[in-house]
């Protein structure tokens, strides 16, 4: 009975709005595990009771621009749904050297304030503290400090239309997603980090341990296990960039691990580790031939509890990534060159994530002590191919599917058109099975299809779209255009299918341009 009551309390707890007064963490846990460091921070949130709002941020950024006109530029990449301009800040020192392009982003989820606050703190430190300003000698840093302005203004996870912007990196249904992705694609980042916070008290955690648990990790690192990313890029991201950041946290007595989150299958709870999915930023960025990571800091629903600690943890990771980019600039260029030139014979359309047992640390809520637990984990970093296909030279898309071409362009791909009618030998997909989830999620009802592939000769009219795979973001094209992909246009209903019909997407295998 007590366990059931605790479960009900957790459900009520996580359903409260983030700006409400309830904080699930008691002072004993805070003082024992998460004390604030002695740190001098002058960002807007530390001059008021609440968090930094849009007006605060813009005033802070404009002061930096006035004080450092030669090293900082401020522009706007679009508007939020409530018509607030989305700022993008570029730090650049013109010294004639080739720079490593780094992209940092905060506030994509509006109830995760440490990301935005740290981005403002970071800008100040790089511009005003010689201990960090040297980084601009080899780095061009672009920062979007408040990616989801409307959500941030009310400390709510979602954009104004109710969509999660970190589940919208492929379907691009929210205006902000299109502006952010277009800006990212145009920039051509070589290193990218998306800064988030995670919820340490989850309703599922009430069922673990003797009286429930909460997470103990100051930070968790998400990076991609997608098998279409070359092994050298995956290894370099994990071992060098993430590896160095972990060493930095360890030297500062902060707890960390690779990212895990709970999920359910057949009413059984398990954990997912890292990701392969292009619908979120980690893999989406990586598929553009970029060293990519998403950082989760322990913080959602904690109000301002341990806020300096959360900012300091985020700052240490951000500066570690920048220092690695600075110190390893030559190797970065070589790693990305090898990755871009790696063209495997097959692409992986569907991958299997193995289930394994892992041990995690946690805080036992019975007596607020550290404990260890064995958990079942689906590990995206150890996935294996389930469905593979020969890598095509390109894809042909019928002209009536203009929406696909437009989204591909936003995703950073060059889309050409046939200059004249042409008969072409291609592989065609025919839908052999189709299931549409009756429940809507994030603005779509998930489609799951199976197809047969056959070789045909087909006449394509002038204006047919062509996406060749001899371009930098080619891995993104295969991810979104293969019908069975877990993060493709078909799954997200950008393209709806009909059973036994031929799809308007064709695989072109001949190694020459049309």
Q: In what order do the strands lie in the sheet with 256-258?
A: 72-79, 85-91, 139-144, 100-106, 191-198, 291-298, 219-222, 256-258
> Which residues are within 8 A (CB) of 297 and not within 5 positions of it... i.e. 6 or more apart?
112, 114, 115, 195, 196, 197, 198, 218, 219, 310, 313, 314
Element (H, E) at 263: strand 260-265
Q: What is the pLDDT along the chain (514 residues), one digit of tens a residue?
A: 444 444 444 444 444 443 445 789 999 999 999 999 999 999 999 999 999 999 999 999 999 999 999 999 999 999 999 999 999 999 999 999 999 999 999 999 999 999 999 999 999 999 999 999 999 999 999 999 999 999 999 999 999 999 999 999 999 999 999 999 999 999 999 999 999 999 999 999 998 988 899 999 999 999 999 999 999 999 999 999 999 999 999 999 999 999 999 998 777 899 999 999 999 999 999 999 999 999 999 999 999 999 999 999 999 999 999 999 999 999 999 999 999 999 999 999 999 999 999 999 999 999 999 999 999 999 999 999 999 999 999 999 999 999 999 999 999 999 999 999 999 999 999 999 999 999 999 999 999 999 999 999 999 999 999 999 999 999 999 999 999 999 999 999 999 999 999 999 999 999 999 9
Q: Which candidate, 156, 139, 138, places its Cα nearest to that of 148? A: 156
CA distances from 62 to 68, 121, 246, 378 (A): 10, 14, 34, 45
Ordered DSSP codes for 77-99: EEE-TTS-EEEEEEE---SS---
Question: Would you report the helix, strand and coil content of the chain in percent, each value rounded to 5?
Answer: 35, 30, 40
- Chain length of the chain: 514
Question: Rounded CA gap, 253 and 114, in Å?
Answer: 19
**Rounded to whole angstroms, what are the CA distances from 102 to 183, 191, 192, 314?**
13, 5, 6, 16
At 9 the pLDDT is 45
What's the whole-model pTM score? 0.94
Please, are residues 218 and 249 in contact by the beta-carbon 8 Å criterion?
yes
Please tell me the predicted confidence (pLDDT) of residue 434.
Answer: 96
Are 338 and 232 in contact by the 8 Å Cβ rule? The answer is yes
Separation between Cα atoms, residue 449 and residue 349, nearest integer Å: 12
For 376, the token pair is: 């079942």
């Amino acid at each position: 009975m007590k366990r059931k009551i605790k479960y009900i309390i957790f459900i009520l707890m996580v359903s409260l709005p983030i700006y409400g007064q309830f904080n699930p963490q008691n002072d004993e846990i805070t003082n024992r595990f998460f004390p604030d460091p002695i740190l001098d921070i002058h960002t807007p949130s530390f001059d008021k009771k609440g968090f930094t709002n849009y007006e605060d941020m813009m005033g802070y950024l404009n002061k930096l621009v006035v004080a450092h006109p030669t090293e900082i530029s401020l522009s706007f990449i679009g508007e939020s749904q409530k018509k607030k301009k989305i700022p993008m800040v570029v730090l650049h020192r013109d010294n004639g050297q080739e720079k490593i392009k780094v992209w940092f982003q905060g506030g994509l989820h509006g109830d995760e304030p440490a990301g935005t606050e740290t981005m403002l703190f970071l800008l100040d430190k790089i511009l005003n503290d010689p201990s960090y300003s040297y980084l601009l000698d080899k780095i061009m840093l672009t920062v979007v400090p408040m990616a989801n302005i409307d959500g941030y203004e009310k400390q709510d996870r979602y954009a104004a239309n109710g969509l999660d912007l970190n589940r919208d990196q492929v379907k691009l249904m929210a205006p902000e997603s299109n502006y952010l992705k277009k800006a990212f694609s145009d920039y051509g980042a070589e290193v990218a980090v998306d800064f988030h916070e995670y919820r340490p008290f989850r309703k599922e955690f009430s069922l673990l341990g003797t009286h429930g648990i909460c997470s103990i990790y100051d930070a968790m690192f998400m990076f991609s296990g997608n098998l279409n990313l070359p092994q050298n890029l995956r290894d370099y991201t994990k071992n060098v960039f993430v590896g160095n950041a972990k060493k930095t946290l360890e030297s500062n007595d902060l707890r960390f691990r690779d990212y895990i989150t709970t999920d359910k299958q057949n009413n059984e709870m398990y954990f997912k580790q890292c990701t392969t999915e292009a619908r979120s930023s980690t893999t989406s960025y990586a598929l553009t031939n970029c060293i990519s990571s998403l950082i989760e800091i322990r913080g959602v629903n904690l109000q301002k509890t341990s806020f300096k600690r959360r900012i300091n943890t985020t700052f240490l990771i951000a500066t570690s990534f920048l220092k690695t980019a600075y110190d390893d600039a030559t190797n970065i260029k070589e790693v990305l060159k090898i990755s871009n030139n790696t063209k495997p014979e097959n692409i992986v359309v569907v991958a299997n994530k193995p289930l394994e047992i892992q041990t995690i640390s946690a805080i036992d809520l019975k007596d607020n002590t550290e404990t260890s637990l064995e958990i079942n984990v689906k590990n995206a970093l150890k996935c294996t191919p389930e469905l593979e296909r020969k890598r095509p030279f390109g894809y042909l898309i019928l002209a009536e599917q203009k929406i696909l071409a437009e989204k591909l362009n936003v995703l950073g791909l060059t889309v050409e058109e046939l200059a004249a009618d042409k008969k072409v030998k291609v592989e065609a997909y025919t839908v052999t099975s189709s299931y549409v989830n009756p429940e809507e999620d994030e603005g779509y009802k998930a489609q799951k299809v199976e197809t047969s592939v056959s070789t045909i000769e087909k006449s394509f009219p002038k204006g047919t779209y062509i996406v060749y795979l001899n371009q930098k973001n080619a891995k993104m094209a295969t991810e979104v255009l293969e019908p069975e992909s877990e993060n493709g246009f078909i799954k997200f209903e950008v393209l709806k299918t009909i059973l036994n019909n031929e799809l308007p997407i064709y695989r072109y295998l001949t190694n020459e341009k049309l």
